[in-house]
Structure 1
Amino acid sequence: MPTPLTAPLSNQWQALLARLETIAAAHPDAVLASSMGVEDTLLIHALAQLPRPLGVFMLDTGRLHAQTVALVDVIRDRYGIDVRVMHPDPAAVQAHVTAHGEFAFYDSVALRKECCGIRKVEPLRRALAGHSAWITGQRREQSVTRTELPESQWDDAFGLRKFNPLAAWSADEVWAVVRALDVPYNPLHDRGYPSIGCEPCTRAVRPGEDPRAGRWWWEQRDSRECGLHASNLTDRPGVRPRAVDPLHPVSVESIFSS
């Protein structure tokens, strides 16, 4: 049985709705990138409450869990939202597999990122083309690469604004709202998958591990990004993207200056 929201969580939920409405007003062409994880289905639920609809898309790499793909129909049936499903270029996928093997991503970080580039980054670039902003479900507590994640930033990699409205939310807060509002979520979360990506690159986490420990678990913790969120990683020590005012232009140089 759903548990009613506490007053603080109700206020937090209302603040999220207000934030998304502000984003939609400033960027009516903004799109939500959904991995069909719990943060993203929470954001979809929030977007469905707004008077101004925004688009939602998902990157189907060809290696997602069946439970993840099934949520596209769940979202359509529940909210009337048609999730745009982006696929990688089949020729690029085949060329990579022919050259390096079907599971080359286990061999090196470079080959894993090449696979991510083909299956995720290039389709993302196509999904974002022509848009002025995108929205993600990233949170600061998810991993060491996200601890200083701003709620809004300029995305230099893709050339548009990027909003992370759940950046300051905790996992407990996300789940409390999801359960209270009966938001649909990926059943893999109930099987120990707090973060869900491609099937061969994701495992359940063990007690005490961080939420993204199951993603590319054979790599070092500070390399576990796929290129979708390149601004989370930097080769310039001490530099982090700073929060920006989404309604006022600002140069890329000023955002990334130390």
Structure 2
Amino acid sequence: MLLEYQTTTPEEVDNINKELTGKNASEVIEWGYKTYGDDLVYACSLGAEGMVLLDLINKVQPGAKVIFLDTDFHFKQTYDLLKKVREFFPDLEIKAVKPELTVKEQAEQHGDKLWETDPDKCCALRKLEPLENELAKHKAWMSGLRREQSPTRKNTQFVNIDNRFNSIKICPLIHWTWDEVWEHIKNNNLPYNILHDQNFPSIGCFHCTSAVLDGQDSRSGRWSGSGKTECGLHK
């Protein structure tokens, strides 16, 4: 029987992860909603992992809250997918969250092409601050992080203390492989971003995302050549 309490300390989180050892993604999701209920929100980037989690969440918790960070800089294919996802999962409450600054206001205040001159600042304005505002309304959030995605994610647990957002972050897919993600998408006829068929395993804003070469890790197409590997949501 899994422990049923709201995790707040490292010791409690360690105990929860021990209890969840050997559980599958759906069981972790079930634990999350049983523990946090409406205080759990899924922040979905609409990547391949996102399609899997949306499907699993929809089966476990119809009507669950989902947020998509609309930076105003997504690929057209991503916006097309958002429409398809809303039609495919009509029971999910999917909310697009925008930054406080419009693209024009950001250029006026911080200069044009901030994603080139200060990409961390651009991510902070268009991703971190909007997510921070949303997570302030909830006690926990869910993410599609997988350990094999990159070296920075290899130690991710099912349940994590998120000091950046003063929250609990639940990651049900940490043990999934890229092949398993796609097997689930194909077997369940889930919609997905067609850019994945063009060597884009990880898709963010169009200014900062490029195709990945054979042999590179799935995150190597993000901020390529800049030394930046994360937007800051998962640090």
Partner of 1:134, secondary structure, is strand
| Deviation readout 1:71-104 (Å, 9 max, x if unpaired) | 222122111124100000126x545423543223
1:46 pairs, out of 56, 81, 84, with 56
Residue equivalent to 2:79: 69
Tell me, in whole angstroms, the C-alpha distance in 2 between the residues paired with 1:51 and 1:150: 22
1:104-253 to 2 correspondences below 5 Å:
104-107=114-117, 111-220=118-227, 223-230=228-235
2:70 pairs, out of 47, 53, 60, with 60
Which deviates more from structure 2 when the two are superposed, residues 195-204 or residues 45-54?
45-54
Q: For the Cα contact (< 8 Å) 2:63–2:93, is it kept in 1?
A: no
Tell me, in whole angstroms, the C-alpha distance in 1 between the residues paired with 2:61 and 2:168: 22
Tell me, in whole angstroms, the C-alpha distance in 1 between the residues paired with 2:110 and 2:150: 29
Partner of 1:162, secondary structure, is strand
| Deviation readout 1:84-142 (Å, 9 max, x if unpaired) | 00000126x545423543223323xxx11000000000110112122011000111111
Aligned residues: 211
Q: Which structure 1 residue ranges, 5 or more long, are not aligned?
A: 1-13, 231-258
Identity of aligned residues (%): 36
Partner of 1:153, secondary structure, is strand
Partner of 1:158, secondary structure, is coil
Residue equivalent to 2:4: none
Please give the TM-score of this superposition, normalised by the length of structure 2. Answer: 0.84
Tell me, in whole angstroms, the C-alpha distance in 2 between the residues paired with 1:115 and 1:62: 12
Q: For the Cα contact (< 8 Å) 1:75–1:82, is it kept in 2?
A: no
| Deviation readout 1:172-230 (Å, 9 max, x if unpaired) | 1111111111121111101110000000100111111110111000222xx31111112
Tell me, in whole angstroms, the C-alpha distance in 2 between the residues paired with 1:103 and 1:199: 12
Instruction: Tell me: CA distance 1:51–1:86, structure 2 relative to 1, closer, same or farther (3 Å).
Output: closer
Residue equivalent to 2:101: 90
Q: For the Cα contact (< 8 Å) 1:21–1:52, is it kept in 2?
A: no
Q: For the Cα contact (< 8 Å) 2:115–2:207, is it kept in 1?
A: no
Residue equivalent to 2:9: none
Tell me, in whole angstroms, the C-alpha distance in 2 between the residues paired with 1:104 and 1:218: 16
Tell me, in whole angstroms, the C-alpha distance in 2 between the residues paired with 1:158 and 1:65: 27
Tell me, in whole angstroms, the C-alpha distance in 1 between the residues paired with 2:81 and 2:43: 14
Tell me, in whole angstroms, the C-alpha distance in 1 between the residues paired with 2:162 and 2:216: 29
Q: For the Cα contact (< 8 Å) 2:202–2:219, is it kept in 1?
A: yes
Tell me, in whole angstroms, the C-alpha distance in 2 between the residues paired with 1:51 and 1:38: 20
Partner of 1:28, secondary structure, is helix
Q: For the Cα contact (< 8 Å) 1:141–1:170, is it kept in 2?
A: yes
Amino acid at match of 1:165: P
Tell me, in whole angstroms, the C-alpha distance in 1 between the residues paired with 2:101 and 2:61: 38
Q: Which structure 2 residue ranges, 5 or more long, are not aligned?
A: 1-22
In angstroms, what is the RMSD of aligned CA positions?
Answer: 1.7
Tell me, in whole angstroms, the C-alpha distance in 2 between the residues paired with 1:102 and 1:195: 25
2:30 pairs, out of 12, 21, 29, with 21
Tell me, in whole angstroms, the C-alpha distance in 2 between the residues paired with 1:126 and 1:16: 27
Tell me, in whole angstroms, the C-alpha distance in 2 between the residues paired with 1:128 and 1:61: 17
Q: For the Cα contact (< 8 Å) 1:24–1:52, is it kept in 2?
A: no
Q: For the Cα contact (< 8 Å) 1:135–1:163, is it kept in 2?
A: yes
